[in-house]
Amino acid sequence: MTTFDEVYAYFAEGAVIVEGKKVKLDVGDADHIFLDGVTGEVSQKDEPADTTIKLGLSDLIDMAKGKLDSTAAFIQGRLRVEGDLGVAMQMQSLVSMRG
């Protein structure tokens, strides 16, 4: 079972960011992954972002493992985007823990 800490470590170690943009992944229960494409840092800060993506931890894990398509999750209401939808679309190609 993949945990929040493992997902956070994946983003932090790979420095998964969208250049020049700030993205917050809000997985509920006060857990956040803040991807700062301005400074290149990944943290657990709860700061304003250009785009906030809200989804459950299990859905984030399934997306990262290629088991859940982000477009399908969005259409089904399992993933919500606040802010710049274009930035969220860029994230789709960056989120992959497969391999």
Side-chain-side CA neighbours of 40 within 13 Å: the count stands at 2
Q: In what order do the strands lie in the sheet with 22-26?
A: 41-43, 32-36, 22-26, 51-55, 79-83
Segment 5-28, tens digit of pLDDT? 888 888 888 767 788 999 999 988
How many domains in the chain? 1
Residue 99 lies in a domain: no
CATH number at residue 20: 3.30.1050.10
Mind listing the pLDDT tens digit of every residue in the chain (99 residues)?
A: 578 888 888 888 876 778 899 999 998 876 899 999 999 899 999 999 999 999 998 898 888 778 888 888 989 999 999 998 888 877 766 665 444
Task: Indicate the residue type of 4.
Answer: F
User: Model pTM?
Assistant: 0.83
Note down the domain range covering 71. 4-94
